[in-house]
């Protein structure tokens, strides 16, 4: 099964993705991880992508699709969660074409719908462990160890992109680039919405029901 989690920064995609990985054995496809892995391995695609990054340029869609294509070949037979990709309609169309060649498809696209004001509150209060990546919140999920992570003891940091002025810019970019992608999948008939303002457990149960319908 291949599913896409799509939503604005802070809408809860990462939290739900980790749950499906832990409980159902999904593999997460994060383009950032795929890029870093290809570069670290010094593969031809990785070096090609790095040449753009070294110039301060975005990695072109066609290169990203080739990287995703190579990654999917390594995950044959596994259920994959696409998190943060595709971001644009062009990427979505290319992904559809690539998966069709592999005789597979995107089964469901889960859109995490949330009020932007709640997103800003979520992100400005978010704290991330500098060592293991565990996420906390100063109000809804504070660490019992203060400024240290409960799991590994690492220091909790406030990411630069979790500051209000940066968040507003990220939300504007999301609406501009990914808004049309949401409508693309809605027209295809495989988009479903979840209210991600709810508690994570409730959102998780909703997605389970949605995926059960896809089986």
Catalytic residues: 13, 87, 126, 159, 170
- Residues 131 and 77: their CA atoms lie apart, in Å, by 32
**Tokens (6 digits) for 138:** 């100063």
Pick from 10, 58, 6: nearest CA to 182: 6
- Asked, as a colleague might, if the bond just before 86 is cis with ω within 30 of 0, I would say yes
Report how far residue 169's alpha carbon sits from residue 10's, in angstroms, rounded to the nearest whole number. 13
Encode burial over 176-190: b for 16+ CB neighbours within 10 A, e otherwise. eebeebbebbeeeeb
- What would the two tokens of residue 186 be? 């809605």
49 in Cβ contact with 67 (< 8 Å) = yes
Find the helix packing angle between 179-188 and 164-177, rounded to 10°.
Answer: 40
Peptide bond into 19 cis (omega under 30): no
d(CA 79, CA 27): 6
Number of Cβ within a 10 Å radius of residue 88: 16
């Amino acid at each position: 099964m291949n599913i896409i989690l799509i939503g604005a920064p802070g809408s809860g995609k990462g939290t739900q993705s980790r749950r499906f990985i832990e409980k159902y054995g999904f593999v997460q496809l994060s383009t950032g991880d795929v890029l870093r892995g290809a570069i670290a391995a010094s593969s031809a695609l990785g070096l090609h992508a790095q040449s753009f990054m070294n110039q301060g340029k975005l990695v072109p869609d066609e290169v990203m699709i080739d990287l995703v294509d190579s990654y999917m070949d390594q995950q044959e037979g596994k259920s994959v969660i696409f998190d943060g990709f595709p971001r644009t309609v062009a990427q979505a169309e290319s992904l559809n074409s690539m998966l069709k060649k592999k005789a597979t498809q995107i089964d469901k696209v889960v859109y995490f719908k949330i009020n932007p004001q709640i997103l800003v509150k979520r992100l400005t209060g978010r704290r991330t462990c500098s060592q293991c990546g565990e996420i906390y919140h100063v109000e809804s999920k504070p660490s019992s160890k203060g400024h240290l992570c409960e799991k590994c003891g690492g220091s909790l940091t406030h990411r630069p992109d979790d500051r209000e002025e940066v968040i507003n810019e990220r939300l504007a970019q999301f609406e501009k680039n990914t808004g049309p992608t949401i409508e693309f999948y809605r027209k295809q008939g495989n988009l479903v919405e979840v209210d991600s303002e709810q508690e994570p457990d409730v959102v998780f149960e909703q997605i389970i029901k949605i995926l059960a319908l896809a089986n």
